[in-house]
Structure 1
Amino acid sequence: MESQETTQYNREYKDRLFKYIFGKDTEDSKKWRLQLYNALNGTNITDPDALKINTIENVIYISMHNDISFLVDTEINLYEEQSSWNPNMPLRGFLYFSILYQLYLKDNNLSILSRHKVMIPRPRFFVFYHGKKTDPDTWKLKLSDSFLGNQKEHGDFEWTATIINLRPDENVPLNKNCTPLYHYVKFVSMVSSNMDAGMDKNKAIEEAVDEAIKEKLLDNFFKINKAEVIGMCLTEFDEELAKRTWRNDGYIDGRSEKAKEAAINLLKMNILSPEQIAQAAGLSLEEVLELQKSILVKA
């Protein structure tokens, strides 16, 4: 008789699967990250260690090591993946880069009070979005579209986010040039197809992982990291479900009290990390941590 028990997976993985694949310090991750970087930038760098990796929350921050010829610190690349549409990505990128530039100034002993012009790396912000078939392969969002007042008089300031549509089509140029990205997108598409067919989330994810192992996607990555992949996917699913629920109930509409109420409920459920709750509810991490403290005090 087949057991009715459901395998339990650790959902407390803070990494998203995208960052786990492309943003780790393993040899495979370095190799895949380099392929993605070269495909996006039209470069042909061959040394995986040429890329200096750092992270902010769930984004991947890439610059160059200091001994790589003229490419020294000329660019900062920031990669973020979004499962659901977010029109505020240019603003998010602007805030992210303000932190990165402060770190850059500190690490290089530079001061904006200097009488000499301070030179900084050029920013490149890519957002990997699981879009629709009707969406273009790539397009740009402008921060100026969010400025209040007359859009024709937004001034000279601009900040952009380059949106990459992650479609499971091997003929998409980026997929052709970056097999690891194509394998990742194909796996995510498998999960979505399984759920569309009526499977519950656990079964949909487990079967997608088994199929990825069978098709040898990302070499042996899915076989070696099966439990971690399933745990991360379940966590991401719960986060996206929470976002959709809050939107439908009117929580994420600028009403702070409703957002806090939703955050408190999810903290009590112990499904997501404080960082994930903050991102989903539109609250600061500090606000969520304060709410968490208040729950512990009452308990």
Structure 2
Amino acid sequence: MLETVPDNRNYKDSVFVDLFSTDEKAKERFLSLYNALHGTQVHDVALLENIKLEQVMYMSFANDVSYLVENKIIVLAEHQSTINPNMPLRCLEYVSRLYEKLFESKEKYSRKLLTIPTPEFYVFYNGKEVYTREATLKLSHAFKEQTEQPNLELIVKVVNINRHNEHPLLELCKPINEYSIFVQTVRKWKELDPVYGFQKAIEECIANNILREYLERKTKEVINMLLAEYNYEEDIAVQRAEEREIAFAEGIEQGIEQGIEQGIEQGIEQGIEQGIEQGAHNKAVESARILKQLHSDTAMIMQVTGLSAEEIARL
């Protein structure tokens, strides 16, 4: 039998994971979410087995939840940034390890058919970028050769839980609805007060009866988890910015090479100049996109990047 994750974890949980996996009332919240997803009325927490693996989906930062319930393996993950198109591949690795731990090796060589729990994969998105209310990611989308009936498939359902999208799940599941409000409140206060924003967000949620019992009981722990989450998101943002810088440099180099080739007919100097100008424009666009995601006003973005208001609006 797969062991549950010990409390002395050496990695950091997100608030989402604590709410639905590790907190003392996590199983009750998970059952509410499970029932909302399946249209069921399961209430016995004894039917749940937490089978979360350590450091698989998100390296040193835990942002995933998995339970064994009613002959199903339910894997949940949360994204507060861009949806990763490689989630099906990551889920494949994750569920393979779960099956490996659920069954002894010798059972897999038995002449009797080994029945296994049915896996289901969900990603809950509440990032700032515009995203559809619901989407489906498939492992087969990544195959180099597309076929009508792939021999291996894994499907991940993406649900946008931002409140303005009004996904039905928010009406059916109180914990996920209140969590969505909590995230929205945290983001608001983090922008208004970078120093004490987390504390003020928690105070507002408690006053409005949003995750009240949980936040009153674990205020300090939640603040620490939020600090870890935002540090993690900033690290990811820095990595992506570095990737863009590399892409920009490569773009300039490619532009110069193309310019030189064009220069054979049009003049080498003109071709190189066009390549450099295109590379500079690409950098301005990427910088504007980052500033826009950070909710900088248009006038400031225009001043920093030199782009027009129309160009910024199209990003």
Q: TM-score, normalised by structure 2?
A: 0.67
- Structure 1 contact 13–231 (Cα < 8 Å) conserved: no
Q: State the one-letter code of the partner of 1:184.
A: Y
- The reply to whether residue 123 of structure 1 matches residue 119 of structure 2 is yes
- Structure 2 contact 137–157 (Cα < 8 Å) conserved: yes
- Structure 1 contact 170–176 (Cα < 8 Å) conserved: no
Aligned to 2:67: 62
Aligned to 1:234: 227
C-alpha deviation, 1:222, in angstroms: 0.8
- Determine the C-alpha separation between the residues in 1 that align with 2:245 and 2:102: 33
Find the residue that maps to 2:163 and give its secondary structure.
coil
C-alpha deviation, 1:16, in angstroms: 0.8
- Structure 1 contact 138–162 (Cα < 8 Å) conserved: yes
Q: State the one-letter code of the partner of 2:214.
A: F
- Structure 1 contact 79–128 (Cα < 8 Å) conserved: yes
Partner of residue 81 from structure 1, selected from 78, 90, 98 = 78
- Structure 1 contact 51–62 (Cα < 8 Å) conserved: yes
- The reply to whether residue 53 of structure 1 matches residue 79 of structure 2 is no
- Determine the C-alpha separation between the residues in 2 that align with 1:228 and 1:179: 22
Please identify the structure whose Cα radius of gyration is greater.
Answer: 2
Q: State the one-letter code of the partner of 1:22.
A: F
Instruction: Identify which of structures 1 and 2 has the higher relative contact order when contacts are C-alpha pairs closer than 8 Å and 6+ apart.
Output: 1
1:223-270, CA deviations, whole angstroms, 9 ceiling, x for partnerless residues?
1111111110011000000101011112999xxxxxxxxxxxxxxxxx
Gaps in structure 2 of 5+ consecutive residues = 1-9, 55-61, 247-315
- When residues 209 and 225 of structure 1 are mapped into structure 2, their CA distance, relative to the original with a 3 A threshold, is same
C-alpha deviation, 1:30, in angstroms: 2.2
Aligned to 2:193: 199
- Determine the C-alpha separation between the residues in 2 that align with 1:131 and 1:145: 23
Query: Where do residues 28-177 of structure 1 align in structure 2 (5 Å cutoff)?
Result: 28-57=25-54, 58=62, 59-64=64-69, 71=70, 74-85=71-82, 86-106=84-104, 111-131=107-127, 134-148=130-144, 150-152=145-147, 155-169=150-164, 171-177=166-172
C-alpha deviation, 1:128, in angstroms: 1.3
- Structure 1 contact 82–129 (Cα < 8 Å) conserved: yes
- Determine the C-alpha separation between the residues in 2 that align with 1:224 and 1:170: 30
- The reply to whether residue 16 of structure 1 matches residue 21 of structure 2 is no
- Determine the C-alpha separation between the residues in 2 that align with 1:191 and 1:114: 52
C-alpha deviation, 1:169, in angstroms: 4.4
Q: State the one-letter code of the partner of 2:176.
A: L
- Determine the C-alpha separation between the residues in 2 that align with 1:137 and 1:153: 27
- Structure 2 contact 161–167 (Cα < 8 Å) conserved: no
- Determine the C-alpha separation between the residues in 1 that align with 2:200 and 2:98: 39
C-alpha deviation, 1:170, in angstroms: 8.9
- Structure 2 contact 35–42 (Cα < 8 Å) conserved: yes
C-alpha deviation, 1:204, in angstroms: 2.2
C-alpha deviation, 1:90, in angstroms: 0.4
- Determine the C-alpha separation between the residues in 1 that align with 2:217 and 2:245: 38
- When residues 110 and 132 of structure 1 are mapped into structure 2, their CA distance, relative to the original with a 3 A threshold, is farther
- When residues 105 and 13 of structure 1 are mapped into structure 2, their CA distance, relative to the original with a 3 A threshold, is closer
Identity %, equivalent residues: 32
Between Structure 1 and Structure 2, the one with more helix by share is 2
Q: State the one-letter code of the partner of 1:123.
A: P
Give aligned pairs, total: 229
- Structure 2 contact 81–128 (Cα < 8 Å) conserved: no
- The reply to whether residue 184 of structure 1 matches residue 179 of structure 2 is yes
- Determine the C-alpha separation between the residues in 2 that align with 1:169 and 1:38: 23
- When residues 180 and 190 of structure 1 are mapped into structure 2, their CA distance, relative to the original with a 3 A threshold, is same
1:2-58, CA deviations, whole angstroms, 9 ceiling, x for partnerless residues?
xxxxxxxxxx971110011111251x3222111111111211112122211132232
Find the residue that maps to 2:203 and give its secondary structure.
helix
C-alpha deviation, 1:131, in angstroms: 4.0
- The reply to whether residue 245 of structure 1 matches residue 242 of structure 2 is no
- Structure 1 contact 53–62 (Cα < 8 Å) conserved: yes
Find the residue that maps to 1:112 and give its secondary structure.
helix
